[in-house]
A and B are shown apart, each in its own frame.
Chain A
Amino acid sequence: MRMKNLVAAATLAAGSFVAAAHMAVAADIALISGKPDDTFFQPVKKGVDDARTVVELTGGTVNYMQLVNYDNLGPDAANLIRTAVGQGVDGLVIADWVPDSMDVAIKEAIAAGVTVMLYNSGNIEKANELGAINYVGSDEYQAGLGAGVYFTDLGYKNILCVNHVPGSFPLETRCNGVLEAAKAAGAASEQLPLPPTQADNAASVAQAIKAALLTDPSIDAILTLNPAVADWAASGIMQAGKTNSVAFGSFDMNEAGLNRIKDGTQLFAIDQQPYLQSFLAVTLLNSYLEYGLTLPTMPVLTGPGIVDASNIDATLAGVQNGAR
C-alpha cells in the first residue's frame, strides 16, 4: 500500500516536473468554443485571436477548438477536453456547459497536470470544486435578474421568457433570474419553450410568439435569449400589433438587434461581453503559467452589461471591429 502510494507520488512528481520544465519555455493553451455558426462565439474567437499575440510573444501557442454542433453537447465537449489533454497542452480554457458529462473530463485534465480556467458557463463555486484557477464570464442568474429588474423598474407586469433550447441549464437559469426579479416587484413571468422542430424556423418562432401574445393579453414584456430569436420575435410582436405596447429585450446582440435599439423598437440587450471572456481567460491563464501570477478577483465577471439607447453608439463602434 505504502509502496503503491510512493510510486504514484513519484509518477506525479515526474509528471509535474516535465510540465514545469515545459512551462518555463512557453505555455500551450487550448480554448474550447461553441459551434462555428453560433453568432455568439464570433467575438469569443476575436478575443482568442487578440490574446494569441500576447501568448505568442512569450513563445506559447493558443489552439482554438470548436464543437461541430450541439446535438450531443456534453459528451462532445468532454471528448474535446480529452483530445486537448492528449495533445499535451499546459493550460485549458473551458466552459462547463453540461457539468454532468464534462466535470469528469475536467477533473481528469487537472489530474494530468493541466491548469484549467473556466469561462462563459459555470461559476466560481464550480471552479473551486473542480480545481480550476478562476471563472471568467457572466453569471446567468445575475444576468437574468438584471434583465428582469430592467423591465420591472419601468413598471412592466408580465414578462415572457422565450427559451429556444428547453432543458438547457444556463437558459433555464436566466429565465429563473427573470422570474425572481418579477416576484420581487410583484410582477409575473413565465417561459415559452420552443421545441427543436421549430427553434431554427424564423416564421415558426415569430408565430409562436405572436400566438403567446394573443392568447395572454396581459403579457407586456418579452425577453429572448439569443439574437436570432430576437430578430424573429420582433416580427412576431409586430404581427400581434403590439410593437408599441410590449417591451422587448434580448440576451446578446447582432447588427439587426442594435438597429432596433437605435430605432427604439427594442428596449435593451444584455451583453455578457464574450470578447472579454476569452481574451481575459487566455491572457490570465498565460500569466499564471508563465509567471505564476493570480488575480485576487474571483470570479472575473464580464457581464451583465446592458446595451440600450444610452450607449448604443459606442457599442456599434465595437461591433464594427468584431469585438461585440
Chain B
Amino acid sequence: MSDNSKPPVLELRNVDKSFGPVEVLHDISLKVREGEVLCLLGDNGAGKSTLIKTLSGVYEPTRGSILLDGQPVRFARPKDAQNRGISTVHQFGGTFPLMSIGRSFFVGVEPTKKFGPLKVFDRKKANEIAVSAVQEFGITRIDDGDRLIGGLSGGERQSLAIARAVHFGARVLILDEPTAALGVKEAAHVLRIVLEARRRGLAVIFITHQVMHALTVGDHFAVLIRGALAADFRKGEKTREEITDLMAGGEAMAELEQEIQAYLDESPETEPVQNRPASSEEAV
C-alpha cells in the first residue's frame, strides 16, 4: 500500500466554506496520495456534496487552502480542476442518456479528421477509443460505440465514466456515490474498477454512505458530520459497527434499530384494531 513518505497529490488544509452566514464546511483537512483510496463517509446533509464541489472547482473555499503536489492552487472553474487532473464522476455517471458511447466519451474534446477544408467529428475513432478504454477496465460487454448511454446498466455507466476520466489523464478521481443506486452485482463491478484505478496509481476519493463498500476498497477513511471531520483513520483501525455509529452520530443507530424492532413486534396487532370500528358499525 501507500507509504506516508510520498507527498499527497491533493490536500485540503483547514478549509471552511460558507454561504453567507451559513457555514457548511468547517476546518476540513484531508490528504490523498497516489495509489490510495480515501473514503469519505457521511450521512445525507453532512456536507459531502459541498466538499466535492470545492474539490472539483465549482466552489472556492472561503478560508483555508487546496494543495496539489504540495503547491497551493486555486480553481476558478471546474475546467481548471479538470486541466490539473482532478476528475469528478457523478452518481449516474454524469453523462447523456440519449448520446452514443463514442460521442459522450468525447464531449468537449471531440477527435476530428480533415474532410476537405472542414473538420469532421471522427466517429469511428471516437467509438474505438471509448470501447477499448472501457474494455481495459474489464467491462467486455461494451463493444459497440454507437450504443446509447441510456441503454447501459448503472454499473456500466459508472465504469464508462471512470474509464473516460482515466483516459483523459485524471490523477485524482472523485467518485460521488458511485454505488448508491446499484444492485449488489453491479456495485461489485464498480468496486472492482475502483481497485483497478488504484492499481494504476490514481488517487481516488470515494464518497459513499455504504460502509461495506467503503471497507472493501478503502485505505483511508474520513467521516463527515455536519460539515466537520468527525473521524480520520486508516484501514483496520475501526470495525463496521463503529463506523456506522460514527456516521449516524453516536448511539443513534442502535436506538433506531431498537425502535424498528419494537415497531415490527407491534405491527401485526394494528390491523385488527383498525378494523374494529367498522365491524361494530355493521352490528348496529
Direct contact of A and B (CB under 8 A): no
Q: Please list the residues of chain A having a beta carbon within 8 angstroms of any beta carbon in chain B.
A: none
